[in-house]
A and B are shown apart, each in its own frame.
Chain A
């Protein structure tokens, strides 16, 4: 991994004035002086020239990457414990290992660009500006959740940040995403839609239908395949004739990105946004990995070895990569980063505690929001004579 040494140059400039180590190091959160870092791997492309490997970032950005990814990681681990404690019911699909995709994407786009994803959406929600408290409340089915406790783990949404969720049926979000892109183009919003799907969903017919439409009408749609190599328990080589998902668009250009490198993801998303606004759809394949199983019901070790999981954790972990970058560039010390992680942990614990105290929705909520308010439709419970409500 080639790292630029700009930091050492500026250190020498400061040397005459520097008396304490504090001055030699860049200030923790506000320094936006550009640092150029090279991505871990070059981009592989299909029908397009790839962007440069040199990514511009800054101390502020790297530290925010670190903090946000640590927050996401901590949240997923907390969700794991809550599920095992039966406070989260139903299904819970965790994103740890894939944080770099959510973070890198956010760094490249604005809140006006829309994101739509599958059921593995907790961290994407956080990336879009969602709060920990709202997330945990939703997971535990409380009224203070982002979907009022009615959606659960798979259905997180955030309208003001253009986050369209949160979809349980595999691949169903692909045509929806293209529809969002159409609306953006029609309204001349100069914004794009990032439609995320997995390697399992990549074999769904509706994805190709969506691609065709997007290409035909030059929609500003960026289709992102989060390839974590396993569709539930099925490895990609067993389910796809061509696991080169970025090439599957055929006439749609594609880019393969190291999804564990937040900076590479940022570069690719920035590039894709520019492309989509001018030329129409593009596919990004994020080569990423999930540490947990498909969901909490899946131990994650029956179809892959524990060595493989720990191997990826040691060599490719996204948080460790950013940590090493930060230390190498002297932006913060090991200890400061550990303190940051501790802070994050406290924050998550506080949010969990607060969410646990939140109320469960009233039974009448079963009947609300089915139709638009004022429709006057009636709804019945199991016994028509006993429970009858006019749908609000």
Chain B
């Protein structure tokens, strides 16, 4: 992974944006102003807009006051005041539960968990999630702290068990997730699969700055509790033109970032960067021709035939929302290509890829010629 990061970090091509003509996007119209931003700045902008447009929204979590460990919350406390943007002590379960309560009173709370690895203590609370709360958990790892109690039992089931009297629709829990190269055991986890197993919440993962801003604003304004995982690897290196105005990208709609005919690739978050590179590699004329160039005169006939061969045409889909996920888009694509490759960072067994494969096989059984998993994590 580290070598892969080294390859990408210097000049990160955000999936779908470099080959702009092929991008199917629901974002800004061309007349609006755009700015080149990286992921944390885009998220920061989204938070500024969210707080501006709804006076009853709050951002809190560990260290958010000074801007957060990843600079996602810079300027918020200065602009909106310490009553709306504030630090919490080191207690994820307490933070999420607190946010749930706040949301139950009809507020939007953006909660930050510092690392997704810390979300587990709040996990239980998530099931209890109350109305639109956006928690700003600095990292998805810390989110694991919140995992234990709050998210699953409190947040997710609140609306249901109160017979729609109360809800935590406005709760948004933000957490940096995923490998970053030096994170080790507890700053690299991808816990999205745990949350996908909980009916009542939504799980959203952006792949790039422009997506992140739109998706975050949608998540904040969505009347259901949302867990928003941000690929921490992309915070600084991923740069994209991001429209400056207020825009939202709809949830539960997957996007075909790259059209193709031979195989469908499905992924989300930072993994798409890797997958797009794989698509480019697959489409190129077969590499070994260049390796044979010294012996060109010997293999010229065979070589010519090989040059005639085309590469593999890949269709790349960004799921964006994992729960509830856009089955129709993936199904339509697999019906076209007949092959599916799912790639994600989290461990394979019990990972979200398993859910996708089961559903697609069920829906497209006769059309599927091959199905594979690929994970950057060992199982």
Q: List residues of chain A with CB under 8 Å of any chain B CB.
A: 89-91, 152, 154-155, 168-171, 200-201, 203-206, 231-234, 238-240, 302, 366-367, 379-384
Contact of A89 among B118, B182, B376 (CB under 8 A): B182
Contact of B93 among A205, A240, A381 (CB under 8 A): A205
In angstroms, Cα B342 to Cα A231, docked, is: 40
In angstroms, Cα B378 to Cα A383, docked, is: 9
Residues of A within 8 A of B348 (CB): 380, 384
List CB contacts (< 8 Å) of B57-98 with chain A: 62-63, 66, 87, 89-91, 93-94
Residue of A nearest to B144 (CB): A169
At the interface with chain A, which of B157-165, B171-179, B183-191?
B183-191
Min C-beta distance of A86 to chain B, whole Å: 10
Residues of B within 8 A of A205 (CB): 91, 93-94, 121
Residues of B within 8 A of A90 (CB): 182-184
The 8 A CB mask of B347-379 against A (1 = contact, 0 = none) is 010000000000000000000000001111011
Q: List residues of chain B with CB under 8 Å of any chain A CB.
A: 62-63, 66, 87, 89-91, 93-94, 117-118, 121, 144-145, 182-187, 348, 373-376, 378-379
In angstroms, Cα B93 to Cα A43, docked, is: 34
In angstroms, Cα B106 to Cα A69, docked, is: 55
Min C-beta distance of A120 to chain B, whole Å: 14
Min C-beta distance of B6 to chain A, whole Å: 13
In angstroms, Cα B66 to Cα A256, docked, is: 31
Most chain B beta-carbon contacts within 10 A, residue among A169, A231, A234, A384 = A169
Is the beta-carbon distance between A168 and B184 smaller than 8 angstroms? Answer: yes
Min C-beta distance of A200 to chain B, whole Å: 5
Main secondary structure of the interface of A (DSSP, over half): loop
Min C-beta distance of A297 to chain B, whole Å: 9
Is the beta-carbon distance between A169 and B184 smaller than 8 angstroms? Answer: no
Enumerate 25 A-B pairs (CB-CB under 8 Å) in ascending A order.
A91-B184, A91-B187, A154-B186, A168-B185, A168-B186, A169-B117, A169-B118, A169-B144, A169-B145, A169-B186, A200-B89, A204-B91, A205-B94, A205-B121, A206-B121, A231-B89, A232-B62, A234-B90, A239-B87, A239-B89, A239-B90, A380-B348, A382-B374, A382-B378, A384-B348
Top 3 closest pairs, chain A to chain B, by CB: A168-B186, A203-B89, A239-B89
In angstroms, Cα B348 to Cα A239, docked, is: 39
In angstroms, Cα B139 to Cα A169, docked, is: 12
Min C-beta distance of B356 to chain A, whole Å: 16
Is the beta-carbon distance between B378 and A234 smaller than 8 angstroms? Answer: no
Residues of A within 8 A of B91 (CB): 203-205
